[in-house]
Every structure is written in C-alpha cells, then in structure tokens.
C-alpha cells in the first residue's frame, strides 16, 4: 500500500518546489492527490512481470571477498566465477568488471559500503555478449565511489586503493582503478572500464596497458551505471591490442535497449582482422594543442613523439595539425558532467527519460539509501553533487544547454582535422602517475580531488587530452609507449567516429614497433 500524504506533507513538498502554498490550496491539492495515489497503488499491485534483459549462463558463483594472497594488488571487491559458452573468440579468457556493471547473482557495490547487500537480478548487455563469446567472468573490480572522480588521488572508495604494479607507491588512476591494476598485474586477461572524462584511458596510461574508449554508443551501456548518458562510455582494457580488438568485436552493436545507439551502423568492420595491415600510407596528425600542456612533463611529450616517429619509420605519414578548441573542452564538458551527474543522482541511476531498461531494484534501493545515508558520501562525491545542485539552482540548466548546443562546433573542428589525416596522436596523460598521498581529513581529501590540487595536482592538466573526446564522441585508445623512472607513458590515438578498425590498426602497428614485453612488464616494488 502506498503512503497517503497529509496536508502538512503537501505544504512541505510545495516549499521544496518553491510554491509557498496556502493551507487552503494544500488541502485542495491533497484531496485530489488521493485519487492519483489510489491509481498508482492499483498499478503497483498489478501482477505483470517487469521485462528485463535476457539472462543466460545461470550457473553462477555469487563470489566472495578475496584474501590478500589472492589479490596482492587490492584490485578486486568480489572474486566470483561465471563461465560462458564452451567455445567462442573469448574462450579461455578471464574477464573482470568495474563494479558498476551489472552481473546477475553477484553483489554490485559501486565501491561504496552504502550498497552492501545489493545483488542485481539482470546482466548488462556487455556481460551477456562476453559470456556468449566464451569468456569466464572472475570478479568485480574497485573504482572511485559511484564513478565520481578521476586521477584516484583522493581515495577510491570504501574498499581501499588498488596498487599500481609498476610502483605501488604511485596511483593507478581512476575511476576504473581496479581495472587498470588487475590487467597490468596479470590477474585477468581483460577488464571492462567506463569513461566520462578519461576513466578508461587514464588508468591504462598510468598502469601501462591498452585501454579503448569506443565511439559514443557503439558498445551498449545497458546495465552499466554511469554519470550522464551523453558522455558515458564502456570499453575494454587488456595487455595487448589483440585482446582489446576481439573484446570490442564481441561487445559492439545495437541491443535495442540503449537510446545512445541511434547512430550506430548496422554492420561493423572486422576489428581483429585488420590488425596486421600495418600503417604504410596511413596519415597521422600530431595535435599541436595536445603537447606542451601546462603542468605536463616534457619528457612524456618526447616519449610520445618517439613512438610517433616509430610509426613513421613503419611507413606512416606524419604531420602536425591544430585543433584550437582542444584546449577548451574541459570547461565545456563540466556543466554536462556536474549537472548531468546530479540529474542521474536525482533519478537514482534510472537515467534519462527514454525508452530503455530501468533497473527498478537498484532505483528503489539507492533512493532509500541516499535519504538515510547521504551524510556518509565521500568528500569527492559531496563536492560534485553540490556543484551540480549549484548549477541547477542558479542557472536552471542554461550552462548545460549551452554545453550541449556548442558540442557540434567542437566535433566539426576535429572532423576538419580528419579531412587531412586518418588518426590523431598525442600523450594520453601529460605526466606519469603521481605518488599516492593518503588524505588526512575532509579538507585534505578535497585538496586531492577533482579540481583541487594545491597540495598535489590539478585535474585539469591530467585530463586535458582525454576529456575532449568524451565530449565529441570520437573513439580513442591509450597504448603504452615509454617508461620514465619505471612508470608507464601512454600514447593516445584518436580516429573518426566508428573507425575503430583504423584506430586498432595503428595501435597494433605501434605494438609491433616497440619492445612491448618491456613496456608492459611490472617491477612492483613493495612500497607503502
């Protein structure tokens, strides 16, 4: 039975909405609301099965917290085992999921103890497709709490910090922090991450692995809980370009549920089949604005340029290109990230009002939890939600609207660059992974998070090259290209929309042009 609001509640609701109802108005509205509540109650009691994505491979181990011996890098929240098909392109491959990707029968925490006990009853589309391709899913991975964050400098949620296997005193990067650590440390073959400003490519660069953010919408986001539908991406992370290409082949394509996929072509290239083509005649443009980033490390720039020269020696044609708006993408993305993220919070991860699948169990549980436990959110999450509320309250969506409306101008400028080149190149992150600093208190945590950094590092330079492509929707891949002081450096390649085949072709050529085994090898000093 649904609750019946009394007159005082109606007046309270009115004040929250800015109505300032009189007692008479509230009484009249309350009386009419009773009819609506009765109709809603009748609907709630209807014995009609809620549709959900199809569930296959139902023999599932619900999982457990791993021991330190099983998980020396602290990458996992849950170890489980869900075996897929007996054959397929991913048969024999182990896969782990960032813990905001639904895997039926296995807890999903978002790296927050608030969600302890929540177990989804549905699979994300990417899970269904990976299992059908023969993969075995072996666990759920740590992330920054509810995906809000970036470099991983302020802590990564209630389950602790994953360790960078190249140097455990340095951060892995976020928000797909566990995904980066698990793959780099050889604990899984493939991990899935998500990206709203660099959260696949950042840990890929700092952990020395391959991380792909596909064209917006190419991989369905159904059952993956991000921040804002127009900047949400899910993609594979692995130690080789080949594993990334095969994973993409298995996951890409429309699922009939994700409204982000309206522009996705019905057919797709053979991503893995083109990896041996090489780069002879391929045109690569080094983006002028992507080098010499403020607060960046010039040695990183040089390591990336040497990788580009290696592609040139392999037959590519290299030229310098300019994309003036590249340096202005972060402020354009911010209203979408902050206000859109606040709207996602308001809908309890229900997402946009569109024809899609709505996870009613998650929506219900999160709605109740945030009412009673919001005070337990991390400083980082509180900061971002308050900034989103500030935008809603003071500007009524105007800045969000402007950010969406100027997006085509940014897209067009990159597309003009693609008129003369096939692939763009730049550093993924303009510096190597910084040393970990444990926050001392609330104030210190804020200093180490999103746009802070007076004690450490401002997020702006860190995602200067990654966030533009969340905004424009172009596919981007990070591949290891050098090491500085034992820490990996990432080369980022970017291609036109839906040209992942070209992107992976160039990445594979780079992989062959360097001493790959040395680049991805981890030394893993014990550190603190």
Most distant CA atoms of the chain, gap in Å: 81
Task: Give residue 383's pLDDT band: very low, low, confident or very high (50, 70, 90).
Answer: confident
Which position has the higher pLDDT, 500 or 3?
500
Specify whether 383 is located in the same domain as 464: yes
pLDDT at 408 over 70: yes
483 bridge partner residues: 488
pLDDT tens digits for 427-440? 999 999 988 877 77
Residue 390 within a domain: yes
Separation of alpha carbons 11 and 47, rounded Å: 34
pLDDT at 156: 58
Average pLDDT for residues 336-361, to the nearest whole number? 88
- Residue 380's CB is within 10 A of a number of other CB atoms, namely 27
Write down the pLDDT at residue 150: 62
Band (pLDDT 50/70/90 cuts) for residue 525 is: very low
pLDDT given at position 523: 64
28 and 75 inside one domain: no
E-only strand ranges, 17-165 = 60-64, 76-83, 94-98, 136-141
pLDDT of residue 511: 98
Instruction: Provide long-range contacts, Cβ within 8 A and 24+ apart, for 347-353.
Output: 349/225, 351/229, 352/229, 352/259
Is residue 51 a part of any domain in this protein? no
Question: Residue 41 falls within a domain, yes or no?
Answer: no
Residues 269 and 413 placed together within one structural domain of the fold: yes
Q: Is 327 a catalytic residue?
A: no
**pLDDT bucket at 443, cuts 50 / 70 / 90:** confident
Residue range 196-253, pLDDT digits in tens: 999 999 999 999 999 999 999 999 999 999 889 999 999 999 999 999 999 999 999 9
Residue 45: inside a domain, yes or no? Answer: no
**Taking residues 286-315, what's their average pLDDT?**
96
Q: Does residue 194 have an active-site annotation? A: no
pLDDT tens digits for 139-155? 999 998 888 776 666 55
- Ramachandran class of 253: left when φ > 0, alpha when ψ lies in -120 to 50, beta otherwise: left
Same domain (yes/no): 177, 215: yes
Lowest mean pLDDT among 39-53, 76-90, 471-485, 505-519: 39-53
Looking at 79, 93, 98, 140, which residue is catalytic? 98
Q: Is residue 221 part of a domain?
A: yes
Nearest partner of 210 among 222, 224, 193, 196, judged by Cα: 193
- At 152 the pLDDT is 60
Q: Considering the domain boundaries, does residue 528 fall inside one?
A: no
In a domain, 342, yes or no: yes
Provide the number of structural domains found in the chain. Answer: 2
In CATH, what number is assigned to the domain containing residue 210?
3.90.1300.10
Model confidence pTM above 0.85: yes
Q: Are residues 133 and 11 in the same domain?
A: no
Q: How many C-alpha atoms does 445 have within 13 Å on its Cβ side? A: 15
Higher pLDDT, 34 or 150: 34
Higher-scoring residue by pLDDT: 323, 48: 323
User: Looking at the predicted structure, is the pLDDT value of residue 11 above 90?
Assistant: yes
Domain residues for 134?
60-520
Is the domain of 339 the same as that of 442?
A: yes
In terms of pLDDT, which residue wins out, 166 or 439? 166
State whether 279 and 379 are in the same domain.
yes
Residue 304: φ, ψ to 5°? -70, -45
Helix or strand or coil: residue 81?
strand
Q: Based on the fold, state whether residues 14 and 114 are members of the same structural domain.
A: no
124 and 22 together in one domain: no
How would you classify the pairing of strands 476-484 and 487-494?
antiparallel
Tokens for 457, please give them: 């590092």
Q: Is the per-residue pLDDT at 446 higher than 80?
A: no
Domain identity same for 148 and 10: no
pLDDT at 303 over 80: yes
Q: Please tell me which residue in 111, 154, 175, 247 is annotated as part of the active site.
A: 175
Asked whether the predicted pLDDT for residue 527 surpasses 50, the reply is no
The per-residue pLDDT for range 244-299, each reduced to its tens digit, is 999 999 999 999 999 999 999 999 999 999 999 999 999 999 999 999 998 899 99
> Is 98 considered catalytic here?
yes
Residues 322 and 457 in one domain: yes
> Which residue among the candidates 177, 199, 247, 478 is catalytic per the annotation?
199
Low-confidence winner among 161-175, 235-249, 481-495 (lowest mean pLDDT): 161-175
Same domain, 311 and 410: yes
Tell me what the pLDDT averaged over the chain comes to. Answer: 91
Position 420 confidence tier, pLDDT thresholds 50, 70, 90? very high
* Position 54 in a domain: no
């Amino acid at each position: 039975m649904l609750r019946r609001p009394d007159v005082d509640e109606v007046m309270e609701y009115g004040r929250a909405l800015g109505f300032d109802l009189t007692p008479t108005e509230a009484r009249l509205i309350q009386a009419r609301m009773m009819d609506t509540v009765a109709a809603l109650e009748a609907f709630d009691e209807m014995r009609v099965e809620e549709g959900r994505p199809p569930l296959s491979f139902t023999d599932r181990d619900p999982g457990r917290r791993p021991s330190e011996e099983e998980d020396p890098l602290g990458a996992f929240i849950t170890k489980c085992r869900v075996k897929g098909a007996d054959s397929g392109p991913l048969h024999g491959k182990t896969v782990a999921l960032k813990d905001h990707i639904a895997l039926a029968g296995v807890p999903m925490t978002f790296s927050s103890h608030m969600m302890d006990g929540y177990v989804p009853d549905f699979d994300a589309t990417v899970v269904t497709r990976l299992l059908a391709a023969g993969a075995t899913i072996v666990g759920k991975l740590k992330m920054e709490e509810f995906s809000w964050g970036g470099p991983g400098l302020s802590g990564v949620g209630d389950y602790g910090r994953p360790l960078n296997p190249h140097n455990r005193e340095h951060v892995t990067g976020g928000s797909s922090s566990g995904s980066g650590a698990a793959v780099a440390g050889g604990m899984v073959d493939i991990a899935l991450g998500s990206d709203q400003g660099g959260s696949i490519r950042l840990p890929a660069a700092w952990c020395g692995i391959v991380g792909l953010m596909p064209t917006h919408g190419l991989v369905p986001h159904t059952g993956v809980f991000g921040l804002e539908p127009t900047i949400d991406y899910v993609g594979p992370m692995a130690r080789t370009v080949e594993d990334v290409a095969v994973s993409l082949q298995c996951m890409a394509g429309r699922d009939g549920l994700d409204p982000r996929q309206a522009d996705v072509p019905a057919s797709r290239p053979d991503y893995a089949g083109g990896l041996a083509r090489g780069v002879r005649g391929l045109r690569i443009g080094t983006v002028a604005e992507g080098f010499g980033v403020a607060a960046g490390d010039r040695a990183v720039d040089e390591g990336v340029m040497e990788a580009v020269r290696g592609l040139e020696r392999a037959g590519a044609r290299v030229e310098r290109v300019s994309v003036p708006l590249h340096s202005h993408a972060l402020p354009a993305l911010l209203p979408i990230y902050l206000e859109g993220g606040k709207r996602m919070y308001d809908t309890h991860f229900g997402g946009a009002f569109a024809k899609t699948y709505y996870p009613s169990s998650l929506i219900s549980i999160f709605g109740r939890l945030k009412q009673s436990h919001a005070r337990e959110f991390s400083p980082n999450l509180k900061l971002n939600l308050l900034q989103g509320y500030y935008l809603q309250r003071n500007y009524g969506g105007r800045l969000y609207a402007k950010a969406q409306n100027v997006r085509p101008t940014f897209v067009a400028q990159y597309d003009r660059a693609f008129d003369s080149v096939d692939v763009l190149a730049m550093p993924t992150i303009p510096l190597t992974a910084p040393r970990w600093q444990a926050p001392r208190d609330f104030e210190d945590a804020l200093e180490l998070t999103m746009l802070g950094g007076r004690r450490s590092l401002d997020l702006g330079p860190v995602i200067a090259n990654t966030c533009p492509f969340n905004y424009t929707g172009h596919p981007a891949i990070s591949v290891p290209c050098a090491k500085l002081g034992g820490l990996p450096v990432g080369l980022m390649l970017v291609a036109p929309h839906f040209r992942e085949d070209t992107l992976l072709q160039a990445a594979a050529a780079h992989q062959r042009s360097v001493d790959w085994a040395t680049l991805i090898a981890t030394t893993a000093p014990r550190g603190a």
